[in-house]
Amino acid sequence: MLTCARNLRATIPGGNIDIAEHDSHMHLAFGEVYEFEEAIRKAREMTDASETLIIVTADHAHAVTLPGYLPVQKSLFSK
């Protein structure tokens, strides 16, 4: 658990979102997005908005796409 201190800097990577999307594992990608949002929410809870700058960046983005064909029997969100 992080404790708030002066000049604290934390980096929270979300690289597994990209990996899951490349492999069309949308259930994993959405789970990673949720966890990333939770990390940002927790950081906002732990800090004072008047004294803290939270920056979220990405080196690229993905659209939700389905490369190739998904068998009818298999759900996009199955594990």
Return binding residues for Zn(2+): 18, 22, 59-60
Pair 65, 15: CB distance under 8 Å? no
Q: How far apart are CA 26 and CA 20, in angstroms?
A: 7
- Extract the annotated binding site: 18, 22, 59-60
| Cβ neighbours, 10 Å, residue 20 | 19
